[in-house]
Structure 1
Amino acid sequence: MTHTLPTPLPDDPDYFQILIESRITTASTVHLSFTANRMALDSPDILDITWLTGGGANHDDWTKPVVHVVNSETGHTPANGGASIDFQTTYDVTLDQLPKHTVKNKDYRVLKIPFLDPSDAAQSLAGSGHLTITLDAPAVMQINSTKVGYSFALPSPAPQGAGSTYRWDFVELNCATPASNGKSVCFCNTTNVDFFSLGIAIKGRTADDTYSTFGLDLSGSTPVADLINDLKNLPPDYAAGYMEQSGAVLRFLAPDMAFTDKADDLDTAIDAGFTHYETHALTFEVGAVSYSAKTVNDALEFSSPSAFTINKPTTLEVIASTGPLDVAGQSVEIQNAQKYIAAALNRGVFTETGDWDKPSRWYPGNVQSNQYSQTLHQHFIDGVCYGFSFDDVPGAPVTSAPAIGTCTSMSLVITDQ
């Protein structure tokens, strides 16, 4: 199937350019904001927080937008020392404020994100960068304030969460890591691990001048409605993720947010899998590292590459990668085991290790699996999307996760239909 998305603009050495085509019909205004936590490539520490505004005296000139940098510990701008960021202000732009670009009598808009210093690899990554797209309301910018400082975060889409009453979605953009050939680039991807709301499709030019396309398949007339209708027809625990306001769609929550701890949609497959490995060895490889385990007292006891245990998870813990599948604080060896097991259970192939790297075998009809993720993959270009946390396992070249590691310019199509 041919996916006709506009060709990205030529690369610009100073700006990451996003050519935007809006197919939004239910909103009078489309708001966008870009925020990020500036980080080093070799450290998880947040150095500064950044956000985008227009240039010019009144910040209304979006032909040359600027990135503001604020010390994450103090909330002060380096330029004027004691002046603090106004955390109550929403910094966004409406689509019609952006410069217009016309191709073959069709109008697009252009959003430019200034590259940070691409000559300094230690300072150039804007971590957790988000382009947030919000309909009929200013784009939500959430500030987390902790003992160690400030950071940007997406608002929670859950009921009662910040931004829960708005229809919004986002693209992840980490700019700019210098590519091996010296070009300024962005890492960009989309994710639906927590929810689906707007149809987003991306065509990106890479540092080697090839193109990569991913996102919702927009070839039909109502791709968003078609996907949401299929999700609403899933079993009750999944269908409970549908959210609307005054009869209009807001979003569809993923099961990691919609399921309760009583959800049992994967229990049979989890129990069968752990029982299977009481009498069969679980063996698999992650790179050059070999793993081996057997089930003992409802837990996988690993003997290789080292001795450790992973307890049997619940349905919600598999879906959300929590409990025994929570990778926080674990060694890389244990994290990799957790990720591969979580991915196999979500995809319904836990007892078939030979199928763990074969996408055509994932989500078999005779084994319980994550039906939210399966449904998304059926509606996305080339079946590629993030349907759960570790949907990028086992990694290139076998991955179902959408991402461009070295994007130099991109086109973005958004739709609510």
Structure 2
Amino acid sequence: MRITRKLVRLLTAAALSLPLVAGVSTLSASSAVAAPDLLPLNVTNNSNRGDQVYLYLLGTNLTTGRLGYVNSAGTFTPWSGGSNPPSPAPDVAINGPGGGGTTVLRVPRGMSGRVYMSFGQKLKFFLTPDGLVQPAPWAGGDANRDILFDWSEFTYDLGGSLFINSSQVDMFSVPHAVAVTGATGATQETGRLVSGGRDAVFNAVRDQPGDWSKLIYTRADGTRLRVLAPGKGLDAGQFNASYFDGYLNTVWDTYRNTTLTVVPFEAEPNKKFSGRTGTDNVLRFTDSTGATVASFQKPATRDVFGCDGKLQAPNDQVVGPIARTLCAALHRSTLGYLHTQPTYSANDFYTRAISDHYSAKIHKNMVDGKAYGFAFDDVGHFESLVHDGNPSSARITLTPFQ
């Protein structure tokens, strides 16, 4: 199994919990005995920056459902207190490594959450009576707007399986790779940028015609802190809210006379759904019996960037898989041109003038071509995720900024 929807999409400026990663099993008999109760997570600083690094290990206890934080010894403590308006959370920062050094975090088995890393300043978190307010620098007035930071996401489930990924669904900022080493000693890594990749992404977004350059946020001292994902830029009033509209009109019109075939499960090539746009402008899908199983009104640009709204993907075996396939194809600008989806050839992605150029530029600058540029970038296995059912350790490497 793999992460099928980003935790990041569920964590906004509102007080929200860190949920379990959808699609991740919480029990794995094969790793139940061998999995360590505290998994070493090594954070290595190869960033070539001189700033003090601060680390935060936050998430949800999968047994109790309680939100909390983990200290340097690996002890999980639930958050307590909180008020309306939100009150400052306790300082739970762990001092990170200096240049070339490594700090070892300890992840309790049965936890899902995030590892935040910030440079030069500690992050500011806040508590409400029922939740944690996390950094959201795309929101006006966010207390962390001028801090250089980023995060990785993970689930270390009750059976001892580890899923860990880098994330660019909300923003691109701190270059870092994630890795897991299994009990056999084999290591998997992803999320590593090519040499000069961070600058290349910023420069490519800056030079892309249209509103794309507005997504870059630069601190007063000249530090380019982050590139916002276009959906976050749209929410902040910095990106065209009708960007995809013309393309969406073309797609919905195409399938009035052409059949769209969706084969959402790679392991089940005979499970197909056929889509046609009706006179009411609804794209309907039928199964092999001819029964209508899913219907989609034409989405708006915001729905595409968020992979929600009219493209909402429930956690089922029909509507959700079709919705996530449609959303991925729209981001990659293959829908309306390639009539069997999903498409598994990366050479076909992002080739049109109207496309998710933010995601395209991040993928282009990854060593293995994998990233999480939008919520369903795992369609076709293009996500920056590693998984091991019997891990011995994990690693986050802060890689060079240039």
TM-score normalised by structure 1 residue count: 0.75
Structure 1 position 35, deviation (Å) = 0.7
- Report the secondary structure of 1:339's partner residue: helix
Aligned to 2:145: 164
Aligned to 1:135: 119
1:66–1:114 Cα contact (<8 Å) kept: yes
Read off the aligned partner of 2:122 and give its amino acid letter.
P
1:242–1:252 Cα contact (<8 Å) kept: yes
Q: Deviations over 1:355-375 (max 9, x none)?
A: 623233432534632111111
Alignment of 1:180-259 (within 5 A): 184-218=160-194, 220=195, 222-246=196-220, 247-259=222-234
Structure 1 position 217, deviation (Å) = 1.9
Read off the aligned partner of 2:208 and give its amino acid letter.
L
1:18–1:409 Cα contact (<8 Å) kept: yes
Instruction: Name the CA shift for 1:140/1:216 in 2 (closer, same or farther; >3 Å).
Output: farther
Aligned to 1:60: none
CA distance in structure 1 between the aligned counterparts of 2:116 and 2:94, rounded to whole angstroms: 11
Q: Which has the higher strand share?
A: 1
Alignment of 1:291-302 (within 5 A): 291-296=273-278, 297-302=280-285
- Report the secondary structure of 1:386's partner residue: coil
Structure 1 position 413, deviation (Å) = 1.8
Instruction: Name the CA shift for 1:169/1:369 in 2 (closer, same or farther; >3 Å).
Output: same
Aligned to 1:37: 60
1:373 to 346, 352, 359: 359
Aligned to 1:47: 65
Q: Which runs of 5+ in 1 are unaligned?
A: 1-10, 41-45, 55-64, 77-85, 98-105, 117-123, 179-183
- Pairing 1:327–2:308 present: no
Read off the aligned partner of 2:115 and give its amino acid letter.
L
Structure 1 position 50, deviation (Å) = 2.7
CA distance in structure 1 between the aligned counterparts of 2:155 and 2:134, rounded to whole angstroms: 14
- Report the secondary structure of 1:163's partner residue: coil
* Corresponding residue pairs, total: 347
CA distance in structure 1 between the aligned counterparts of 2:273 and 2:97, rounded to whole angstroms: 54
Aligned to 1:5: none
Structure 1 position 270, deviation (Å) = 1.6
CA distance in structure 2 between the aligned counterparts of 1:185 and 1:327, rounded to whole angstroms: 25
Aligned to 2:74: 66
Structure 1 position 132, deviation (Å) = 0.3
Q: Deviations over 1:257-297 (max 9, x none)?
A: 11258433333322211111000122222234431221123
Q: Which runs of 5+ in 2 are unaligned?
A: 1-33, 82-86
- Pairing 1:278–2:256 present: yes
Q: Deviations over 1:46-97 (max 9, x none)?
A: 622231223xxxxxxxxxx132332x7xx38xxxxxxxxx963120112249
Structure 1 position 229, deviation (Å) = 1.1
State the identity as a percent.
Answer: 18
2:97–2:103 Cα contact (<8 Å) kept: no
CA distance in structure 2 between the aligned counterparts of 1:364 and 1:48, rounded to whole angstroms: 40
CA distance in structure 2 between the aligned counterparts of 1:276 and 1:363, rounded to whole angstroms: 19
CA distance in structure 2 between the aligned counterparts of 1:345 and 1:255, rounded to whole angstroms: 14
Aligned to 2:335: 350
Structure 1 position 172, deviation (Å) = 0.8
Larger radius of gyration: 1
- Report the secondary structure of 1:286's partner residue: coil
2:41 to 9, 18, 26: 18
